[in-house]
Structure 1
Amino acid sequence: MNVVRVFTIAKNGFQEVIRDRILYFVGFFSLLLILAVRLIPEIAAGTHEKILLDFGIAAIALLSVIVAIFVGTSLINKEIEKRTLLMLIPKPISRAELIVGKHLGLVAVLAVMVGIMMTIYLAMMSFSAIDYPLVALAISAGYLLLELSLLVAVAILFGVFTSSILATLLSFGVYLMGHFSQDLVELGKLSKNESIETLTTSLYLVLPDLSRLDLKNEAVYGLLPNYTDLFSHALYGFLYTILLLTIAMIIFSQKEF
């Protein structure tokens, strides 16, 4: 795998996604936050500071997830539909390089989005005289980016062998179940049914446990896991992303065009 070619693909992918008006999401977030700052104190006096902190970090996560999944599922499909893939494959660009480059390009876009939205969010909290745990929120933003990187890998994996619509639905399904995978295990135990318990345990083992990368609720209170847990969660997200990309490369290499 040629690093120069991978970063060239990533750069082109970054520029292409930015041109697709992705940064309008940042403008929408800013408008949403301004409205929240104006309205929430009037309807939740006394608890508005906590609500605003929760609302802001949750909005950043939700908008970023939408971009990661909707854009991620179309990264490869778009190349196939536009027939540009047929021009790329004969050149000295491997399919693995294309997938890794597309992944890095979209993750870079998401990093810019999260960075800008976090800056706006913290500036708005400061302007509203709301105290916030800066370090904890910054760490949670870093783990959000790890989660988004994993979701982009999920979206690309589904995108290489299904339609964009189906890949989007499957990716959102993985996102939702990934946040409740531990609850699935408990649900299986409560059912007292061996088949259901086996199914829920299997889903827990196969699906990514995204709750390990979701630190926003703890960060709002300035509470984070210890350094050992933080490292293990980050390693988990990184290795799972590599696994998904590897599977996507294997499937994509078998496709005929």
Structure 2
Amino acid sequence: MNLIRVFTIANNGFQEVIRDRILYFIAFFSLLLILAQRIIPEIAAGTHEKILLDFGIGAIAILSVIVAIFVGTALINKEIEKRTLLMLIPKPISRAELILGKHLGLTAVLAVTVTIMMGIYLAMLSFSEITYPVGALAIAAVYLLLELSLIVAVAILFGVFTSSILATLLSFGVYLMGHFSEDLVELGKLSKNASIESLTTSLYLVLPNLSRLDLKNEAVYGLLPSSTELLNHALYGTLYTALLLIISMMVFARKEF
């Protein structure tokens, strides 16, 4: 694998996604914060600071996930539909390099997007004179990016072997179930049905446990897991992402055009 070609693909993908009006999401986020800052203090005078803290970090996560899934599932399919993939394959660019480059490009876009939205979010909190744990929120943003990188890998995997619409639905399903995978196990135990319990346990083992990378609720209170737990969570997210990319490369290598 040639890293120069990978970074070239990543750079081209970065510029392409930025041109696809991704920055409109940032403008939309800013508008949401302005509206929230105006409306929430009037309807929740006593608890508006906590609600604004939760709302801002939650909006960053939701908008970023939407970009990761909708753009991620179309990364490869768009190349196929535009027939540009047929021109790339004969060149000295392997399919593995294309997958990795596309993933890095979109992850870079999400890193820039999350950074800008976090800056706007913290500026709004400062303007509203709301105290906030800047260090904890910064760490939560880093782990949000790890989660988004994993979600992009999921979206690319589904996008490699199915249509964009189905890949989008499946990716959202993995995202939702990944946040409730631990609850699925408890639900299986409560059912007291061996088949259901086996199914929920299997889903827990296969699906990514995204709650390990979701630190939003802890961050707003300034409470985070220990350094050891944070390191374990980061390794988990990184290894799971790498595994998904390897599977995507293997599937894509067998795909005929």
Same-fold call, TM > 0.5? Answer: yes
The share of aligned pairs that are identical, in percent, is 84
How far does the alpha carbon of each residue in 1:179-207 deviate from its partner, in whole angstroms, 9 at most, with x for none?
A: 00000000000000000000000000000
* Partner-residue secondary structure (3-state), 1:112: helix
Residue of structure 2 equivalent to 1:67: 67
Residue of structure 1 equivalent to 2:174: 174
Superposition deviation, residue 208 in structure 1: 0.1
Give the AA of the match of 1:125: L
Residue of structure 1 equivalent to 2:194: 194
Size of the aligned set, in residue pairs, is 257
- The answer to whether the aligner puts 1:128 opposite 2:128 as a matched pair is yes
- The answer to whether the aligner puts 1:215 opposite 2:221 as a matched pair is no
Give the AA of the match of 2:13: G
* Partner-residue secondary structure (3-state), 2:22: coil
Superposition map of 1:103-252 within 5 A: 103-252=103-252
* Partner-residue secondary structure (3-state), 1:20: helix
How far does the alpha carbon of each residue in 1:200-227 deviate from its partner, in whole angstroms, 9 at most, with x for none?
A: 0000000000000000000000000000
Q: Which runs of 5+ in 1 are unaligned?
A: none
Superposition deviation, residue 109 in structure 1: 0.2
Runs of 4+ in 1 over 2 A off after TM superposition: none
Cα distance in 2 between the residues matched to 1:120 and 1:226: 28
Give the AA of the match of 1:31: L
* Partner-residue secondary structure (3-state), 2:21: coil
Give the AA of the match of 2:254: Q
Cα distance in 1 between the residues matched to 2:214 and 2:187: 21
> Structure 2-normalised TM-score?
1.00
Residue of structure 2 equivalent to 1:18: 18
* Partner-residue secondary structure (3-state), 2:252: helix
Give the AA of the match of 1:225: P
Superposition deviation, residue 90 in structure 1: 0.4
Superposition deviation, residue 97 in structure 1: 0.1
Residue of structure 2 equivalent to 1:56: 56
Give the AA of the match of 1:51: I
How far does the alpha carbon of each residue in 1:218-249 deviate from its partner, in whole angstroms, 9 at most, with x for none?
A: 00000000000000000000000000000000
> Structure 1-normalised TM-score?
1.00
Give the AA of the match of 1:124: M
* Partner-residue secondary structure (3-state), 1:93: coil
Give the AA of the match of 1:63: L
How far does the alpha carbon of each residue in 1:37-62 deviate from its partner, in whole angstroms, 9 at most, with x for none?
A: 01100000010000000000000000
Superposition deviation, residue 96 in structure 1: 0.1
Cα distance in 2 between the residues matched to 1:177 and 1:151: 12
Superposition deviation, residue 98 in structure 1: 0.1
Superposition deviation, residue 127 in structure 1: 0.2
Cα distance in 1 between the residues matched to 2:256 and 2:47: 58
Q: Which runs of 5+ in 2 are unaligned?
A: none
Cα distance in 2 between the residues matched to 1:81 and 1:253: 18
Residue of structure 2 equivalent to 1:5: 5
Cα distance in 1 between the residues matched to 2:155 and 2:23: 20
* Partner-residue secondary structure (3-state), 1:23: helix
* Partner-residue secondary structure (3-state), 1:91: coil
Residue of structure 2 equivalent to 1:42: 42
Superposition deviation, residue 126 in structure 1: 0.1
Give the AA of the match of 2:179: H
Cα distance in 2 between the residues matched to 1:111 and 1:234: 16
Superposition deviation, residue 143 in structure 1: 0.1
